[in-house]
Amino acid sequence: MGMGTAMAEAVADAAGVYRLMTWLTASFPVGAFSYSHGLEWGVEDGTIRTVDALVAWVDDLLALGSGWNDAVLAAAAWRASAAGDWTGLAEVAELAAALTPTAERRLESLSQGRAFAAAIASAWPCEAVDRLKAIGGDLAYPVAVGAVAAGHGLSLPATLLGYLHGFVGNLVSAALRLVPLGQTDGQRALARLEPRVLATAARAALSTLDDLGGAAWVADIASMNHETQYTRLFRS
């Protein structure tokens, strides 16, 4: 490989990282800051009061719950988009919308999915996002991210790592406001969750839709209870 070719590939990789950092940070207009994924109820009922409890909660989501399933769905959407299998992509989107376990989780995922696709179409257009828009309203967030990432030539491992980093970061940010925890506590939580994020991304890169499934029932019940919580900062 010549130096010029190596340099071109390095620039292309850097551009991909830049896009992921842009799309999956809190500043991207999907409204992620307004959702706690049921964590607000976990704070309300006393389950989450410390860094240890927060890490255990999020770790379970990544290993056994919605974090894992989102990664599997994002991987399936990435593969369909990369192959130009638009019928397959629509089927993944339909499945992802059907699997949301509560009304608020559905609102969270579909609202962010639609907002993500709209922002991408305006600033980062590609064929994949045009196909997503044709699917209609029931567009889950991980499906949108996976399909768009493939449409822009980003690798599956990088896409999954970026998505899960954003997932964890948003939950930790919510906990800082709710528990409350200090900024240093938030960094400790992110550092302790790094191995699980890496492991989940690696597992999901090899997954199929047959690997969907979870056992994080407490988090699902928390999301249900949040619907009738008396005072709330978050929409989920």
The HSE-up count of residue 228 (CA atoms within 13 Å, CB side) is: 3
pLDDT score for 99: 95
CA 74-77-82 angle, 5° bins: 125
**In the predicted model, what is the mean pLDDT of residues 130-152?**
92
CATH superfamily of 41-226: Urease accessory protein UreF (1.10.4190.10)
Q: What does the alpha-carbon distance between residue 94 and residue 92 come to, in Å, rounded to a whole number?
A: 5
Note the pLDDT tens digit of each residue in 13-58.
677 888 998 999 888 999 999 999 999 999 999 999 999 999 999 9
pTM above 0.75, yes or no: yes
| pLDDT score of 228 more than 90 | yes
Map out the domains of the chain as residue ranges.
41-226
Q: What is residue 138's three-state secondary structure?
A: coil
Enumerate residues 6+ apart whose C-beta is below 8 A from 46. Answer: none
